[in-house]
């Protein structure tokens, strides 16, 4: 495909955001036009149709399904698109950069984080589970575990009063009750059954089931119930006025050959696991069998499922993040690869309100905010960590949270909502 940078291209500017619509007519623009010049063009057209609009709006531009990050001619040449045709360029209001808010200092590495509407749970290498406000104030610190706390999860992210779960390398999980807004936290049940350290925990969408995985290669399913419903062996142990139950798993699902690094509930009946054995497995939690399996090239370190787009993000020990569509019937199940980190990507998490946005954290100290339509470059690099990033969380749409080996948790405010 030929074309000098002095040449012209025909484009048609389109948008789904009607408030910013401009006349839908072909325009002749320089082939080497970039996002800066496209922004000036769209804002000029908006002012012509609405002279009262004085403030410029920042836009991003999509061509052939991907965000424009290079001059338009290069973007088209990379995709073997003819410059003779009229190119549809969609513009969308640019996602603003997240704003750094607070840094929460811990006594050791932080590898478990999950936020709710007002609170942030953290799990730490000093064996502690901590509750913070989203404004950075410590509520309480709990030390029931006898080894590092690898993962934490609210039983219901919209209601901290339903309690939470922590899992540890001491082979146990603990279900805690929490009187939201107070420092009253009580261990109510201990999960026993894993033979090696537990690395990951996930709660089913209806909050009735727990999935755990770890170094013994087993996926275990548990009930969140604190009643003796006959489905599990429960041993009651009194500790002063508090009765602590010992729960055993409802089911143990075997199939992985190495440790399970992440679990995700797809719905109330299907669980996905990613493992150091280079595989992703989808399990039927009712029939307790494998439904589907994806075989990768490297050990998987983390994963995140999006109910908004029904795809799974997984990061591997090779710097890359991959997006899988397990239901795809055409081509590879891996639809996109995102590459920007310079070392292993330890954690990924989807946005829960926008099907295109996600966060990643890596051993290169970087936290990155991505749009799936820009696989070669993140939207933003969120600065602050001085060591490996071990966990990123975006459970609360207003705040992006990350923790790492610099003993700190960083909170970034999402200005997009």
- SS3 annotation, 303-351: EEEECCCCEEEEEECCCEEEEECCCCCCCCCEEEEEECCCCCEEEEEEC
Q: Is the CB of residue 64 less than 8 Å from the CB of residue 369?
A: no
**Domain edges within the chain:** 8-93, 99-413
> What is the per-residue pLDDT across 317-344, written as a single tens digit (0 to 9) for each?
999 999 999 988 888 899 999 999 999 9
Determine the pLDDT at residue 114.
Answer: 98
d(CA 333, CA 272): 15
Q: Are 41 and 48 in contact (CB under 8 A)?
A: no
Residue 135 burial (CB count, 10 A): 11
Residue 224 has a pLDDT of 96
- DSSP structural state of residue 18: G
Q: DSSP character for 127?
A: S
CA-wise closest residue to 131 among 199, 180, 190, 189? 180
What CATH architecture applies to the domain 8-93?
A: Roll (3.10)
Three-state secondary structure along 26-86?
A: EEEEECCCCHHHHHHHHHHHHHHHCCCCCCCCCEEEEECCEECCCCHHHHHHHCCCCCCCC
Query: Which among 299, 303, 296, 290 has a CA at the least distance from the CA of 264?
Result: 303
* Cα gap 383→206, rounded to integer Å: 35
What's the token pair of residue 379? 């939207």
Which residues in 262-282 are b (16+ Cβ under 10 Å) and which e? bbbbbeeebbbbbbbbbbbbb
pLDDT of residue 233: 57
Q: Is the CB of residue 166 less than 8 Å from the CB of residue 186?
A: no
Residue 338 sits at φ, ψ, to 5 deg, of -110, 125
Sheet containing strand 138-142, edge to edge, reads 110-115, 119-124, 129-133, 138-142
Domain 99-413 has CATH 1.10.30.50: no
State the pTM of this model: 0.92
Give the DSSP letter string of 139-171. EEEE---SS-EEEEEESSTT-GGG-EEEEETTS
- Judge whether 86 and 26 are in contact, CB under 8 Å: yes
Q: For the segment 34-79, what is each residue's pLDDT rounded down to a tens digit?
A: 999 999 999 999 999 888 777 899 999 999 999 999 999 999 999 9
| Torsion angle in degrees (nearest 10) through CA of 207, 186, 225, 351 | 10
One pLDDT digit (tens) per residue for the chain, 417 residues? 344 446 899 999 999 999 999 988 999 999 999 999 999 999 999 999 888 777 899 999 999 999 999 999 999 999 999 989 999 999 999 999 999 999 999 999 999 999 999 999 999 999 999 999 999 999 999 999 999 999 999 999 888 889 999 999 999 999 999 998 888 999 999 999 999 999 999 999 999 999 999 999 999 999 999 876 555 555 666 555 578 999 999 999 999 999 999 999 999 999 999 999 999 999 999 999 999 999 999 999 999 999 999 999 999 999 999 999 998 888 889 999 999 999 999 999 999 999 999 999 999 999 999 999 999 999 999 999 999 999 999 999 999 999 999 999 999 999 988
Output the pLDDT for position 342. 95
């Amino acid at each position: 495909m030929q074309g000098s940078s002095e040449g012209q291209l025909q484009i048609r500017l389109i948008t789904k955001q009607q408030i910013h619509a401009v006349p839908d007519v072909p325009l002749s623009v320089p082939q080497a036009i970039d996002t800066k010049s496209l922004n000036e063009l769209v804002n000029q057209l908006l002012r012509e149709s609405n002279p009262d609009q004085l403030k410029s709006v920042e836009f991003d531009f999509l061509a052939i399904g991907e965000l424009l990050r290079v001059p338009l001619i290069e973007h088209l040449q990379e995709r073997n698109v003819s410059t003779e045709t009229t190119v549809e360029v969609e513009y969308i209001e640019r996602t603003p950069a997240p704003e750094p808010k607070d840094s929460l200092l811990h006594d050791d590495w932080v590898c478990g984080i999950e936020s709710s509407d007002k609170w942030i749970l953290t799990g730490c290498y000093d064996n502690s589970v901590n509750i913070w406000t989203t404004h950075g104030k410590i509520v309480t610190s709990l030390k029931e575990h006898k080894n590092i706390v690898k993962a934490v999860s609210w039983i219901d992210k919209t209601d901290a009063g339903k309690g939470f779960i922590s899992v540890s390398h001491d082979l146990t999980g603990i279900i805690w009750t929490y009187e939201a807004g107070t420092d009253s936290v009580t261990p109510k049940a201990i999960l026993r059954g894993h033979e090696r350290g537990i690395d990951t925990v996930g709660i089913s969408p209806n909050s009735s089931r727990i999935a755990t995985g770890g170094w013994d290669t087993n996926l275990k399913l548990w009930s969140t119930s604190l009643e003796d419903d006959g489905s599990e062996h429960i041993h009651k142990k009194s500790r002063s006025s508090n009765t602590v139950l010992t729960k055993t798993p409802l089911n143990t699902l075997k199939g992985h050959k190495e440790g399970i690094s992440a679990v995700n509930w797809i719905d109330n009946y299907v669980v996905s696991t990613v493992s150091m054995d280079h595989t992703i497995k989808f399990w039927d939690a009712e029939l307790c069998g494998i439904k589907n399996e994806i075989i990768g090239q490297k050990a998987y370190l983390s994963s995140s499922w999006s109910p908004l787009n029904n795809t799974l993000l997984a990061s591997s020990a090779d710097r890359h993040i991959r997006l899988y569509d397990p239901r795809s019937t055409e081509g590879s199940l891996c639809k996109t690869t995102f590459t920007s980190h310079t070392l292993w990507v330890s954690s990924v998490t989807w946005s829960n309100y926008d099907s295109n946005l996600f966060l990643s954290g890596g051993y290169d100290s970087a936290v990155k905010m991505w749009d799936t339509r820009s696989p070669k470059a993140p939207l933003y690099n969120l600065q602050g960590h001085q060591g490996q990033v071990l966990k990123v969380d975006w459970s609360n749409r207003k705040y992006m949270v990350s923790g790492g080996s610099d003993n700190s948790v960083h909170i970034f405010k999402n200005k997009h909502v």
